Copies of this chain bind each other. A is one copy, B any other.
Amino acid sequence: VAKRGSAQAKSPLSRERIADAAMVLIDRHGLAALSIRKLAEELGCEAMSLYHHFPSKGHLLDALVDQCIAGADLPAGGLPWVEQLRRAAHGFRRMALRHPKFAPLLVVHRLNTPIGVAYLDKIIGIFRKAGFDDKSAGTLFRDVSYFLMGAVLDESSGYANGPSAAEPVSDAAIARDCPNLAAVAPFFKPVHFDATFEAGLEILLQGFDSIRKTVR
């Protein structure tokens, strides 16, 4: 039987049902709109009931991050290492942008859960199996991670999503005072996200390939 509004008392609460409802809420209204109280209303229960399944809001967010990471594609082992890295990078980006409003949290979250560290371990493994020494593997893994973090942040919540300043500068003022910015601004739009990502990733992969020839 339906309660008021969207609240349905369909089934007993569970971690899965709570996590799914939380992600729906984030997808629809944004990360800032996720509160324990609103989530409970959506689930047709009291706020405090959720604490029987997640000890804190932080634990719930961890579970959401885990759920995303578990859905990331990892490349097959047989491919050349550059192709494996390329696919892993694309897989990360695709995964993170599956829930754009959650992406800013996902991307800055340290992956310290069993699922998270297993994911990192596999990608670092691509470098090590390619013949990089541990120092190069660690360094270059971080470098490509920096790029991926920035790319996902920009695509999910950057300029293309509108101004963030409380009193933004008008387009007219930019056209007048910032000729360089005005000239390149069209290429910051979502249509160019793919090409921008590809260009940066390929520069990095090319550089990694050159370095590998020296450390081997």
- Is A183 among interface residues, defined by CB-CB distance under 8 A? yes
In whole angstroms, what is the CA distance A146 to B58 when docked? 27
Partner of A179, one of B121, B140, B145: B121
Which label, helix, strand, loop or mixed, suits the secondary structure of the A interface? Answer: helix
- Is A47 among interface residues, defined by CB-CB distance under 8 A? no
Cβ contact within 8 Å between A165 and B110 = yes
Q: Give the number of times this chain occurs in the complex, counting copies.
A: 2
- Is A84 among interface residues, defined by CB-CB distance under 8 A? no
Cβ contact within 8 Å between A149 and B143 = no
Cβ contact within 8 Å between A134 and B187 = yes
Is the interface on chain A under 10, 10 to 19, 20 to 34, or 35 or more residues?
35 or more
- Is A184 among interface residues, defined by CB-CB distance under 8 A? yes
- Is A108 among interface residues, defined by CB-CB distance under 8 A? yes
Q: Which B residue's beta carbon lies closest to that of A113?
A: B165
Cβ contact within 8 Å between B181 and A121 = yes
Cβ contact within 8 Å between A196 and B143 = yes
In whole angstroms, what is the CA distance A204 to B192 when docked? 19
Cβ contact within 8 Å between A138 and B204 = no
Cβ contact within 8 Å between A178 and B147 = no
Supposing A166-B55, A166-B59 touch, asked if A183 and B128 sit within 8 A by C-beta, the answer is yes
Q: Mark A150-170, 1 if CB is under 8 A from B, else 0.
A: 110110011100011111110
Partner of A143, one of B55, B127, B199, B206: B199
- Is A109 among interface residues, defined by CB-CB distance under 8 A? yes
* 7 contacting pairs across A/B (C-beta < 8 A): A110-B158, A112-B169, A113-B167, A117-B173, A120-B178, A137-B183, A138-B186
